[in-house]
Amino acid sequence: MTISRLTLPENFFDVTSSMLLLQPKPQYLYASLFKRALAASLNVPMSLGLNGRSIESNGQVYESAERGRRAIADSLFDELFAARFVMDGQPGHTVRVNRPKYGSTTYTKASRKIAKGASISTTPINIGSEQTDITIATYAGPYDQENSRVAPYAIDELDAGLGVHALTSMVGAHMQDDFDHFWDAVMITLANNASTTVRPAGMSADNDATVAGQFPMTYDTLNRAELSADNANIPAFADGYRVCVLTPTQVSQLKNDGQYARYAKDHPEYNALFPGYVTTINKMHVFKCTTLDTANNGSSVPIHKGHLMGPGVFMGAMAQKPKVRFSTDDNYALTAKLIWSTFAEVELADNRFVTSIRTTGNAA
């Protein structure tokens, strides 16, 4: 019999390296917009627990959750927020914002011409106005998927001092990722509630697709989305363009369209500043985002949901910056339990300012 680890396990042990490999993560584009608009980044301290009862960690510091992400580096996207409200101790939970509602009457020469000797009416008419509001709420994480509730992470003081990696920084990275993932999903869901949906020619509803790849993303689809925004008088950003965010599959399908090469052009500024930038077509900057929604329709065909947006789509409010909170249930300071929370909200300022672009995924 050969003497080996299998026959003599007592003579061998495993070693865990302190080196940390890179975990590929999405850029959380929409969460980045939220954090930039409201300065709402979550900072997790290295010492976790109540004052005087905190737990320190030994070991190699764990990398931030943002390591390896593609990052926004351009102020153009700041214009996606129509309004930002930081309450900071001011009274009131709800902020109401007005917008004008212009009338649509009769615009002919005959209707406005005043005949000689005719009396102009002295009975006044009214003007219109619209109003939207945003109400601050409490949000927290992480989330216990098994029991459908917000629940804390817990750190044991003994184990925190004996690990290869610092448990406090490990938990901090997971909390940052949960915070970003939550706000990213929230804003994508809001953008999906666009007042206008554009699909490829022949597809009038999501369930019209019965086979994967039946209605792919094309230049024509993108062009009709732009036409819809033009007809709705949706404004452009400061550089005269709108922003189109597509799934990787939609981008791949678009590049396979014969008209793509004819109309696509590079924008050197975005090539350098934004790794997710794909191309500029007509008056649209096209970006790729891996966290956009895809959902199967009634025929189990994946429907990809992209967005074409003008400035002023979202508005956000915050009464208190995100923070880490600790439970008093700490077993005599032997176990630290912690969550993140924030008093904030984000809503659509106007669902007319975003167009949902829906196409089918590719066949397997």
Answer positive or negative: Cα dihedral of 99, 105, 107, 112: negative
CATH code, 202-313+354-360 = 3.30.1930
Q: Give the span between the Cα atoms of 263 and 248, in whole angstroms.
A: 19
Instruction: Report the sign of the C-alpha dihedral through residues 235, 237, 240, 242, in that order.
Output: negative
For residue 334, give the nearest of 141, 154, 150, 142 by alpha carbon: 154
Q: What tokens appear for 203 in the block?
A: 């597809």
Q: What would the pLDDT profile of 116-131 be if each residue is shown by its tens digit?
A: 989 999 999 998 888 8
Listed residue (30, 354, 79) closest to 192, CA to CA = 354
Instruction: Determine if the pTM surpasses 0.95.
Output: no
Task: Return the domain boundaries, the chain.
Answer: 24-95+131-189+315-348, 202-313+354-360
Strand 81-86 versus strand 354-360 pairing type: unpaired
Q: Which of 303, 342, 47 is nearest to 168 (CA)?
A: 47
Tell me: the pLDDT tens digits for 163-213?
Answer: 666 777 788 888 999 999 999 999 999 999 998 999 999 999 999 999 999
pLDDT per position as a tens digit, 241-291: 999 999 999 999 999 998 988 888 877 666 655 667 889 999 999 999 999
The beta-carbon contacts of 140-146 under 8 Å, at least 24 apart in sequence, are: 140/325, 140/339, 140/340, 140/341, 140/342, 141/175, 141/178, 141/179, 141/182, 141/339, 141/340, 142/174, 142/175, 142/178, 142/339, 142/340, 143/178
| DSSP run (H or E) holding 252 | helix 248-255
C-alpha span between 203 and 209 (Å, rounded)? 7
